[in-house]
Structure 1
């Protein structure tokens, strides 16, 4: 049995045992603030990548277990080869196997803590900014009954400890939705990303988790989603200037694998096609070798169950 098959089996078993699931969540919380082989974590949750020999970005999962397996068939060998994997958030809600998908992502962090980064999405919400649908509590209640409230409480703690932003100087910004709104008015990334603060401001949480790019000639305007902003090419350029970077990689929108905007400077990657009746799961691979930078967009077609 392959490594991935063993991980998938363990995820399914864990997602059916409230005690094992609780232990896995609690153990994951303690790992989120620790530095890795290619990254260091700044308070209150900003990941700086110190090596970029191979970084794979995975988009929204939304409980799409079969697509996650297909993506990991491509990705696990990259970890074994010394690469790093970054999830861009939205692990649950909507999908047919939310708890199994969450368990599998957490097991990856458990077994490869120095090679796996988990960022926060808007479906890992702060208490005051819940998305719709947010059916994870109902899924927990249906499966675990009396243990559901305790497990959701643990997951809420886990959500609140997830890093919010990743970046590589000279390379990229990685977020779920968009860069912090503070990027418009800041001249230093430490200020814009609130590095060193006790916690993220409400403005930064909202703008990072909920914002979307637009091709309209605007800097930033309120989003029709009701939270976050629509940000234009000028905003992207300003945010990237803070890290001297080439592109923003983000999730948050369902697209068939990936989509480029702002002249290729914003790449949306989405990895839950079965939930949205799409064909492809996307991944993006960034690498720096011999002074050369490359960005590879990969489409993975998952097998449909049945």
Structure 2
């Protein structure tokens, strides 16, 4: 028999998660999270690997366990189902509240499946979690078994989306192996992220203004790509924009390739070490975009912004 989380229990779980107070951990029974994850896996795997979504919709980049930031975006634009959302992945690791972050998103996905869309990021991976914090958070607060259940859920997530047939979205970037959108649709699930191939590139690749064509990525996996690749991709697939996440950018968003690619990063003051803003991209019915920016808190002294290049762990590269 399939596990069932009754509607009232799901509502209670969401209410508990929304009652969060700054920097406090929410005590949600582990058994309820287990049930939610099992149901969420079924919902996610029924979706195609390449989602086709209609506007209006709000798009967010990396959250990384900064739960308070995510709630601020919801408070700003409306909680589901009053507003619809597409998240580009990297819900966990680094921040203090990865469990709350991913649990609320999955609860919204189960309750409002057509108002909440969740793509997989490179941090939705067992090998990355064991280095960057989510494994330790689950082990400390709950059990390793619960973390494994989260990993099983990542392995069912879609990896790309198209909004209104014109805006292509993924976590990382483009791939030399992407010749046709059926290449994404035909990726099998559940799956782990390998160190090369189309799935890896969609989650790990980066644009680079110094590159023409494709080049080796300093992260140790996948590629970097130049503006020429973006322009060719846009023309070949009859698109207006590529929207991706994966990199900290000072203003929360950054354009590339003559404004044909945008990077979104939604965690503000990332890790408490960066003075970056966070951003949400709001797409209206006509596919016009508005950027909502969450400003960082000011710190004493002048701090120069330095971009973070996060490398794949050696364990993954082998």
Confirm or deny that 1:162 pairs with 2:157: yes
Q: 1:240 to 1:169 in 2, by over 3 A?
A: farther
Map of 1:168-207 to 2, 5 A cutoff?
Answer: 168=163, 170-183=165-178, 186=179, 188-191=180-183, 193=184, 195-199=185-189, 202-207=196-201
1:132 Cα deviation after fit: 7.6
Whole-Å separation in 2 of the counterparts to 1:101 and 1:243: 34
The ranges of structure 1 where at least 4 consecutive aligned residues each deviate by more than 6 angstroms after the TM superposition are 10-14
1:300 Cα deviation after fit: 2.3
Question: Partner residue of 2:266?
Answer: 271
The answer to whether the 8 Å contact 1:172/1:249 transfers is: yes
Question: Partner residue of 2:10?
Answer: none
1:58 pairs with one of 57, 60, 69? 60
Whole-Å separation in 1 of the counterparts to 2:257 and 2:172: 15
Q: Which moved more, 1:195-204 or 1:151-160?
A: 195-204
1:295 Cα deviation after fit: 1.5
Higher relative contact order (CA 8 A, sep 6+): 1
Q: 1:233 to 1:89 in 2, by over 3 A?
A: same
1:225 Cα deviation after fit: 0.5
Q: Could you report, residue by residue, the CA deviation over 1:235-259 in whole angstroms, capped at 9, with x for unpaired residues? A: 1123223431111111101123111
Q: Which moved more, 1:250-259 or 1:276-285?
A: 276-285
Q: 1:15 to 1:224 in 2, by over 3 A?
A: farther
Whole-Å separation in 1 of the counterparts to 2:100 and 2:93: 12
Whole-Å separation in 1 of the counterparts to 2:187 and 2:102: 29
1:95 Cα deviation after fit: 0.4
The gaps in structure 2 that reach 5 residues or longer are 1-13, 299-318
1:231 Cα deviation after fit: 0.9
1:150 Cα deviation after fit: 1.4
Instruction: Tell me the secondary structure at the aligned position of residue 188 of structure 2.
Output: coil
Whole-Å separation in 1 of the counterparts to 2:19 and 2:40: 19
Whole-Å separation in 1 of the counterparts to 2:68 and 2:60: 14
Question: Partner residue of 1:33?
Answer: 45
1:88 Cα deviation after fit: 0.5
Whole-Å separation in 1 of the counterparts to 2:188 and 2:76: 37
1:211 Cα deviation after fit: 0.8
Query: RMSD of the TM alignment (CA)?
Result: 2.6
Question: Partner residue of 2:89?
Answer: 89
Confirm or deny that 1:8 pairs with 2:18: yes
Confirm or deny that 1:261 pairs with 2:263: no
The answer to whether the 8 Å contact 1:15/1:100 transfers is: no
Q: 1:17 to 1:301 in 2, by over 3 A?
A: farther
2:215 pairs with one of 199, 221, 227? 221
The answer to whether the 8 Å contact 2:209/2:227 transfers is: yes
Whole-Å separation in 2 of the counterparts to 1:170 and 1:103: 30
The gaps in structure 1 that reach 5 residues or longer are 35-40
1:78 Cα deviation after fit: 7.5
Instruction: Tell me the secondary structure at the aligned position of residue 100 of structure 1.
Output: helix
1:110 Cα deviation after fit: 2.3
Q: 1:275 to 1:262 in 2, by over 3 A?
A: same
Q: 1:101 to 1:61 in 2, by over 3 A?
A: same
- TM-score (structure 1 length as normaliser): 0.81
Whole-Å separation in 2 of the counterparts to 1:197 and 1:69: 32
Question: Partner residue of 2:5?
Answer: none
